[in-house]
Structure formats: C-alpha cells, structure tokens
Amino acid sequence: MNTVTDPVCGMKVDPGKAVGSSMHEGKKYYFCSRGCEEKFDADPKKYTSADYKPKGMG
C-alpha cells in the first residue's frame, strides 16, 4: 500500500482514505483529519518548510 506523510502531524496517510487534500506549489498533500487540512491551508509555507518538524497528533 502506498502511503504519504501528512505534513502537519507527520502521520502516514493512505491517499485513497485521506480525509482531506490540498495542492501547494504543484504538489498534492494529504491529511489525516480536517484539522490538519485547515492548519495547512492557513499557512502552507510553514508546513512545507524544511525547518518544520511534525509533532504528532494532539
């Protein structure tokens, strides 16, 4: 099974089952929850930055 990493929390997400997805600079990102999608959409540059380290759920 192919999984991708939710850029907000760092969880592995199956794109077929992801709750949300978002395009940013030509790349598609998938999220485990609406909360992660909303955080990403509010500030995509933060979550795609090399300096950002996912802290996990919660």
Please give the C-alpha separations between residue 9 and each of 14, 40, 44, 48, in angstroms, as whole numbers: 14, 10, 13, 12
From 7, 20, 30, 32, residue interacting with Zn ion (rule: CB under 5 A): 32
Do 29 and 21 touch, CB atoms closer than 8 A?
Answer: yes
- When the beta carbons of 1 and 39 are compared against Zn ion, the nearer one is 39
Q: Does 37 bind Zn ion (CB under 5 A)?
A: no
Stretch that binds Zn ion, among 1-9, 18-26, 37-45, 47-55 (CB under 5 A): 1-9
Q: Which of 24, 23, 5 is nearest to 15 (CA)?
A: 5
The footprint of Zn ion (CB under 5 A) covers 6, 8-9, 11, 32, 36
